[in-house]
Chains A and B, each alone.
Chain A
Amino acid sequence: MVDKDCNLPQIKRLSALDGQIESGRFGNLKTEPGILIKENHPLSIVQLETRKPPTKDFLKVIKNLFEFDVPLSPNTSNVSDKTHIIWTGPNRWIIVEPETRDLTSLVKSQVKETTVAIVDLSHARSSIEIDGVMTRELLLKGAAIDFHPEVFLVKHCVQTTFFNLSALICCLDENRFNIFIARGFALDLWQKVQEAAEEFGYETL
């Protein structure tokens, strides 16, 4: 059974947070909000897994497609334009971008090696973006990871326990982080982030 070629459906994707989020400023309003929270949606997420350390051919194909190198070290990622490739395990990565094209089909059409497993996870993960001067403080409340700016650099990524949930945390910018969470837990995590941000004052977008 071969995957049918398909263009993106016309129907609007509903995120796990759809209709659940009130936008505005909350918590401590004495100062400018220390935290900004928003959801990145809809995203295309494709997981690639190779049997062994990736072949030169595979690396070349990815480089040609996205203009970035596959990050070979744990806890790292690479970015090009709007696409992000993140190490998620030995010989395993996810490629993430805002949904504008059928990314899975694109990758499948280009990566010909049969030993590469390509899995569409576009709907499996929600992405919550946290920004603001107190972001690293907030992350420390949920994860036992050293978020010191000289340790956790831009493009650094970790998979860890975040507020008791499995999460992938990526640093996009000095104070801007993207958190990937299983879709079913998205609302739960959103609420936990809100609670933790109370004292800093936060704005939801």
Chain B
Amino acid sequence: MIRIKCPYCGLRDHSEFNYIGDATKIRPVSPELANDEEWFDYIYIRDNPRGVHQEYWQHITGCRSYVKVLRDTVTHEVLKTGLPSDDLLFSYEAEK
């Protein structure tokens, strides 16, 4: 069990969420200008870090918001959560 703080609804069980995936990959803003490398990286390449990972979860049985979650893959500790526009890694490092 992991408990995740939805930025809107508060702390909830992970069973209220759907795991979506890596939140560090950003879709090319101008799809037509992005080259093959960029598309390949966006669609297929995923790091599998030991430690801090930034990922998306959707609060599926709650407010349906996409929640950005900073999670330690070793301890499962949820270090920080926020909205898709937040850079959690940056603010986490800054706070440390």
> Could you list which residues of chain A lie within 8 angstroms of chain B, going by C-beta atoms?
74-75, 88-90, 92, 144, 158-161, 165-167
Contacts and interface: CB of A to CB of B under 8 A. Distances in A.
Nearest to B8: A74
Interface of B: 8-10, 12-13, 15-16, 60-65
Contact of A88 (B10, B12, B15, B63): B63
Most buried by B among A89, A90, A144, A159: A159
A92 B64 CA distance: 11
A113 B95 CA distance: 42
A161 B17 CA distance: 10
B9 A161 contact: no
17 contacts: A74-B10, A88-B63, A89-B8, A89-B63, A89-B64, A89-B65, A90-B8, A90-B65, A144-B12, A158-B9, A158-B62, A159-B62, A159-B63, A160-B16, A161-B13, A161-B16, A167-B61
Contact of A159 (B9, B13, B15): B9
Contacts of A144: 12-13, 15-16
B12 A166 contact: no
Most buried by A among B10, B15, B61: B61
Contacts of A167: 61
Nearest to B59: A159
A90 B61 contact: no
